[in-house]
Amino acid sequence: MKILYICDKLITFILNEIIDLHNNNDIFILSEHSEKAYEVINKPILIKNGLDRNYHKFISFKNRKEKYFHFITKILYDFVVHPICACRAVINILKYYPNLNYGISDYLDVRYFFDAEIDVIHSPFSTPSIIDKAFLLSKILNVPFTLSFRAHDIYEGDNSLKTQKRIKKIREASQIMTISDYNKKYLEKAFHINKNIEIIHSSIDPDFFKPTNLTRSPKSIVTVCRLHEQKGLIYLINACNILNKRNIDYTCTIIGEGSEKQKYDKLIEDLQIPNIIFINNLPYNEVKNHLNNYTVFVLPCIIASDGKRDILANSLKEAMSMEIPVITSNICGIEELVDDGINGFLVPPQNAQAIADAIEKIFNNPDLGRKIGKEGRKKIKKEFNIKIEAGKIEKIFKEVKL
């Protein structure tokens, strides 16, 4: 099969899904392009797996005049070389785009694939703008499209309101997928989607995230995430302050970059909290090496002021697969991943005291930590395994019809 992934964020776990599907299929990628993320993270992975030739980025222009000139030259060319596609494109842009400027942008992004003989179009993050692109190309090529909803695509900012306006397009999708039962219930309630919604977990490769050093640094805390409000790191930092006041030795390593860094630095300086280390974004294999060495992984997620939230964060799954006991907030269906007291600990959101108590419990009970870590890996291998979940997606792709 020839499968096209259209996404606004080519995050590593989406790449892993693509790589697994690439074993039996031809995969093409159309994505928004962040030069830094692409060069540091995505490009090496794409090259290693022979996918760099199939990667295409959204087109950007200096101004509207340049874009319109580009559009006129391409649409005239396509009327000669791809007359059916060009006619369908014009008809659907006029029909579905109140603002033609957006329709022209989407057309210029997707036209590369007129010759690719795509069998199915898939959106792994179904933001409103990506729904539009997938829908338009589906109409032009007369092939099915599928949508997967995760977190930022439905909860962030005004995405939910914009998605409401695209219900007719969503209902034309051959299959709708989401990553959790929490999301499924939200989609059914908020968007009144009556057709079957398939749960396909966002998953990882437990053969890659496999512990090789079970003699971990004592009393060490780690987290891996973007430094954004919804990650709740402010409560981890305050938990470290509580541990310090209890005279409990610890080190805390935070791996990631983001907009909240200055805020965290100021808090640490104001409260004079020791032993908190920040490390910038790292390649996947280096993250794995770090995870080998810590006592506990903490990700105290919250629902941010703009609605952003994590749904079964992949960094938790990576830590669980590495047999690190995890501590996270009891929100947004997290109990689908973490069974409290069995393969991790759930604490109330925005509660630094509860985080500190859970960390101290693991510090004081290394046997409990090891037991919870082993149970965590079992859960990932069984329910959040990339090979199993990618197999479910591949089955859907083979069965979908217009």
From CA 35, how far away is CA 284, in angstroms rounded? 17
Give the residue among 155, 194, 193, 163 at the shortest CA–CA distance from 311.
155
Residue 305: other Cβ atoms inside 10 A: 8
* Domain residue ranges of the chain, discontinuous segments joined by +: 2-203+386-399, 220-383
For the domain spanning 2-203+386-399, the CATH number is 3.40.50.2000
Residue 28, classed as helix, strand or coil, is: strand
The two beta strands, 296-299 and 220-224, are parallel
Secondary structure (3-state) at 57: strand
The CA distance from 157 to 152, in Å, is 8
List the pLDDT tens digit at each of the 402 positions of the chain: 999 999 988 888 899 899 999 999 999 999 987 777 777 778 888 999 999 999 999 999 999 999 999 999 999 999 999 999 999 999 999 999 999 999 999 999 999 999 999 999 999 999 999 999 999 999 999 999 999 999 989 898 888 889 999 999 999 999 999 999 999 999 999 888 877 899 999 999 999 999 987 678 899 999 999 999 999 999 999 999 999 999 999 999 999 999 999 999 999 999 999 999 999 988 888 999 899 999 999 999 999 998 889 999 999 999 999 999 999 999 999 999 999 999 999 999 999 999 999 999 999 999 999 999 999 999 999 999 999 999 999 999 999 988
Which CATH class name applies to 220-383?
A: alpha beta
Q: By C-alpha distance, which of 245, 329, 323, 243 is closest to 291?
A: 323
Q: Which two tokens stand for residue 289?
A: 């090496």
Assess whether the region 2-203+386-399 and the region 220-383 belong to the same CATH fold: yes
Q: Are strands 55-57 and 120-123 parallel, antiparallel or unpaired?
A: unpaired
CA distance 210 to 380: 11
Amino acid found at 97: Y
Query: 296 pairs with which residues across the strands?
Result: 221
